[in-house]
């Protein structure tokens, strides 16, 4: 939780009425493109983001050269020779990338997140209950870079602020794309990246995003991202719900059962309704299972 007011300033708007209507028809299960009004926002220019990065804890910022050899070892990752602030201020020409994590911990950006989510909260509350664990991330990516095939555990809306990218989104809960064991591993600390097969490509929908576009990415819908020919800045606003928490618990429960050679259960479309299995999982976890 952040300490600032969740009330949007009078007249401020992140998502226009048409975007909120589109979101309401798609949430929580369908990916959909929306529009937003944060392009040109003073907190989202390169100078403001450089200043933000410089006052954030270093553990919340990752940055390095954008184009590395495929097999580079973490300890061999070359520095770009610039400070963090210089990296962001000149990112259009230095070929780097940076991720600023949990920017909501900074009061000004926390207010930006709260204002954006407040506009969606009535829609979300109706479908999946209270918005839990709100977080925001800012991605600065260099031309032509690719974020590999992966999934994320949050409800997510990515707002494109500067430059273009194409996000290709695949259906969630398809065990041909993400085997049950991979989901179980993911919810037990396993890596978010998924195994790619060329045959998957036709299952995905490519969503080109320009400044002013946003995309709703459902929980654990696999996706990959291809950056356009210019530097890209995106803001990701995320939250959890009882449904997303329950899904994680049920996959973790299945992992426990599988390790003991017991039959695993079906997570299904409404994991939040599986009260008995979630209760048993919580008891087992308390007992140190
Ligand atoms: Fe992602």
pLDDT digits (tens, 9 = 90+) for 10-57: 445 999 999 999 999 999 999 999 999 999 999 999 999 999 999 999
Confidence at residue 10, expressed as pLDDT on a 0 to 100 scale: 44
| Per-residue pLDDT tens digits for 270-281 | 888 878 888 888
Enter the pTM of the model. 0.84
Q: Which of 214, 217, 174, 213 is nearest to 194 (CA)?
A: 174
Q: How far is the CA of 150 from the centre of ligand 1 (A)?
A: 6
Q: Report how far Cα 282 is from the mean position of its chain's Cα atoms.
A: 26
- Measured between alpha carbons, how far is 171 from 233 in angstroms, rounded to an integer? 25
| Per-residue pLDDT tens digits for 179-209 | 888 888 877 777 788 888 888 999 999 999 9
- pLDDT above 70 covers a percentage of the chain that reads 89
Q: How far is the CA of 242 from the centre of ligand 1 (A)?
A: 20
Cα–Cα distance list, 148 to 73, 151, 159, 167, 193 (Å): 17, 10, 19, 11, 7
Q: How far is the CA of 122 from the centre of ligand 1 (A)?
A: 25
Tell the CATH superfamily of the 17-240 domain. Cupin (2.60.120.650)
Strand partners, 136: 237
Find the distance separating the first CA and the last CA of the chain, reported in whole Å: 30
Confidence at residue 257, expressed as pLDDT on a 0 to 100 scale: 79
Q: How far is the CA of 237 from the centre of ligand 1 (A)?
A: 11
Report domain extents, the chain.
17-240, 245-286
Backbone angles phi, psi at 26, to 5 degrees: -105, -30
Band of residue 75 on the pLDDT scale cut at 50, 70, 90: low
């Amino acid at each position: 939780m952040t300490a600032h007011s969740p009330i949007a300033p009078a007249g401020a708007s992140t998502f226009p009425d048409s975007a909120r209507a589109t979101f309401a028809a798609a949430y929580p299960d369908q990916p959909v493109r929306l529009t937003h009004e944060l392009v040109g926002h003073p907190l989202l220019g390169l100078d403001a983001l450089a200043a933000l990065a410089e006052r954030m804890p270093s553990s919340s910022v990752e940055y390095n050269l954008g184009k590395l050899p495929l097999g580079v070892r973490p300890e061999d990752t070359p520095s770009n020779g610039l400070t963090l602030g210089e990296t962001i201020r000149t990112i259009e020409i230095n070929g780097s990338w940076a991720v600023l994590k949990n920017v909501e911990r900074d009061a000004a950006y926390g207010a930006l997140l709260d204002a954006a989510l407040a506009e969606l909260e009535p829609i979300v509350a109706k479908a999946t209950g209270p918005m839990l664990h709100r977080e925001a991330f800012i991605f600065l990516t260099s031309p032509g870079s690719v974020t590999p095939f992966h999934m994320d555990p949050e409800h997510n809306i990515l707002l494109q602020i500067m430059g273009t990218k194409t996000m290709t989104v695949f259906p969630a809960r398809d065990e041909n794309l993400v085997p049950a064991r991979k989901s179980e591993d993911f919810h037990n600390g396993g890596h978010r990246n998924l195994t790619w097969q060329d045959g998957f490509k036709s299952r995905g929908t490519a969503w080109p995003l320009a400044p002013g576009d946003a995309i709703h990415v459902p929980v654990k819908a696999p996706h990959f991202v291809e950056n356009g020919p210019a530097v890209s800045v995106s803001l990701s606003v995320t939250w959890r719900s009882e449904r997303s928490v329950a899904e994680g618990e049920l996959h973790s429960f299945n992992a426990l059962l599988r390790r003991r050679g017991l039959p695993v259960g079906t997570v299904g479309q409404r994991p939040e309704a599986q009260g008995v299995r979630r209760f048993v999982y919580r008891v087992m976890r308390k007992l140190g299972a």
